[in-house]
Amino acid sequence: MNENSYINWFATSDQFILDTIGDFLKNARLQQNKTQLQVAEAAGVSRSTVSLLEKGRGGTLLSLLQVLRVLEQLPVLDSFMVEQKVSPLLLAKQELQKRRRARNKNGNEDAPISW
């Protein structure tokens, strides 16, 4: 576990969250030994946009996604995935509705099949 595992995100300010995202972006960029200009050009945004994102001072959701893509950090979005949950009762109903055997065209299960 790291120190961020214990952050109560509901108790933090919006600016703290923006700063945290900015630190994440800057760290990812520096780990890849890329300049802000290199990231900006690859993402199709301005260098100042990358700088503002890293400082937690601005940018759009689209520019954030573009920078995350360039830095190969899109997997951080996994927590946004919505899992379809099926209730146990619905599963049981679906199980009862599954076909158990095939029938021939005339509806008689034991009749020989005519070709």
* Segment 69-95, tens digit of pLDDT: 999 999 999 988 888 787 788 778 888
1-41: pLDDT as tens digits: 455 578 898 999 999 999 999 999 999 999 999 999 999 99
Nearest-angstrom CA–CA distance, 3 and 26: 18
Which residues have a Cβ under 8 Å from the Cβ of 46 and sit 6 or more positions away?
Answer: 40
3-76 maps to which CATH number? 1.10.260.40
pTM, rounded to two decimals: 0.68
Alpha carbons 64 and 18: distance in angstroms, whole number:
11
Closest CA to 62 of 37, 43, 47: 43
Instruction: Please tell me the distance from the alpha carbon of residue 91 to that of residue 34, in angstroms, as a whole number.
Output: 50
